[in-house]
Every structure is written in C-alpha cells, then in structure tokens.
Amino acid sequence: MRFKLDENLPLEAAEVLINAGHDAHTVYQEKLNGASDSEISAVCKNEQRILITLDTDFCNILNYPPKEYPGIIVIRTMDQSKPSVLAYVRQIIGMLSREPVEGKLWIIQKDGIRIR
C-alpha cells in the first residue's frame, strides 16, 4: 500500500511501513512541511496515498469525506512520544490485512479503532 505520513509523525514511522513492504513517503521528503491540511489531502488524493496523521482535523468527514480519498488514518493519542506513535503505526500494519482502508477514515485510539 502507498502511504503519506504527515509532518507530526516521526520520520521513523515511514521506515516501519517500508520494512513491512509498503511504499511510504513523508511530507518532509516532498518539501510539504508547513503545507495546509487541504494541500496535504489534495496531494494524497492525487498520488493515491493513504494519509497517516495525528491531526484530528482530518476526522471531520464534512471537510474530508472518506469516500473521496484513498484512506485517512488518524492516530488519537495523548502520548505523542516517538515510541508511542511507532507502536500505533505497527498496530496499523497488523490491521491492514484484516480491514479495508480505501475510502475509509480510521481513527486509532488506545481502546481500539473506529471506522467511518
């Protein structure tokens, strides 16, 4: 699968995805850091990449209707330390084979996942 990692995720998250056999780019690699949410979402749509972010603005299905995107994954955690975020990314990898993400919004939290 093809992913775009928002600037609020550690760069190592891309390595975790790549090591699991996925294609992962970061906004830093593409000089998109500081870009607006709408710019990031447009790039993801154009490149057909699933967005992984900590930005809860992407949970707004009126602004970012899941069916219009290759997938949006929002990690909601109070602990945004590198080890915690990387643990969530590993959890996501485990779920990819069990649950389709295309056209969906996944909200990953400590107590589970919500899919819209």
How confident is the model at residue 84, as a pLDDT?
96
| Residue 37 to residue 16: CA distance in whole angstroms | 24
Q: Which residues of 60-70 are buried (b: 16+ CB within 10 A; e: fewer)?
A: eeeebebeebb
Mean pLDDT in the chain? 96
- Domains of the chain in start order, with CATH, are 2-115 (3.40.50)
pLDDT, tens digit (0-9, with 9 covering 90-100), for 58-75:
999 999 999 999 999 999
Residue 111: which pLDDT band, with cuts at 50, 70 and 90? confident
How confident is the model at residue 112, as a pLDDT?
87
pLDDT, tens digit (0-9, with 9 covering 90-100), for 15-33:
999 999 999 999 999 899 8
